[in-house]
Amino acid sequence: PTIPELEEVLQSAPRSCRHCDEVWPRLYLGDMFMSHNKLGLWQLGVTHVLNAAHGKLCCKGNDDFYGTTVKYYGVPANDLPAFDLSPFFYPAAEFIHQALTSDGRKVFVHCAVGVSRSAALVLAYLMIHHRHSLLSSVRCVQQKRWIFPNRGFLKQLIRLDQKLQGLKE
């Protein structure tokens, strides 16, 4: 799909703006408010946190913040079209995959708002580990949460999709 086609699909989805949504079994996507709610994460049974805005002022997560009961992974991404998120696609997907292949583990992926950086990493996970196309990954997540990765991330996801589908650029 082209960027305008993807943006049309993204725009067409209902806008749900909860702090946290389960977008895949045991995989939650959300915002910084939920990331700071240690009790809420504990009540959900979250065992792993992937922060796609690591080191940004709004998202203060780190290993010390969550303690020994939660495994933490930080991606220091900026939500800018010029930011290259693609080097983080495979490590983030692997972090999610390792957690979800163990019984009972749950992963919370977040950034500031939970619609661009973190959503792009969740889409990459579905593409890499579940062999979904970019479009089917978007539609899968959209059933549970409104997402809108920026144009730069969409371009990078299109390249990943082409690579995974064995197509040449």
pLDDT digits (tens, 9 = 90+) for 3-60: 999 999 998 887 777 899 999 999 999 999 999 999 999 999 999 999 999 876 666 6
Indicate the average pLDDT of the chain: 92
For the chain, domains (ranges, CATH) are: 3-75+84-167 (3.90.190.10)
Which residues participate in catalysis according to the annotation? 111
Phi, psi for residue 123 in degrees, rounded to 5:
-60, -45
Model confidence at 61: pLDDT above 80: no
- Rounded to the nearest 10 degrees, the angle between the axes of helix 3-12 and helix 134-142 is 20
Q: What is the mean pLDDT of residues 102-128?
A: 95
Q: Is the pTM of this model over 0.85?
A: yes
Mark residue 151 as left, alpha or beta (left: phi above 0; alpha: psi -120 to 50; beta: remaining): alpha
pLDDT digits (tens, 9 = 90+) for 9-24: 998 887 777 899 999 9
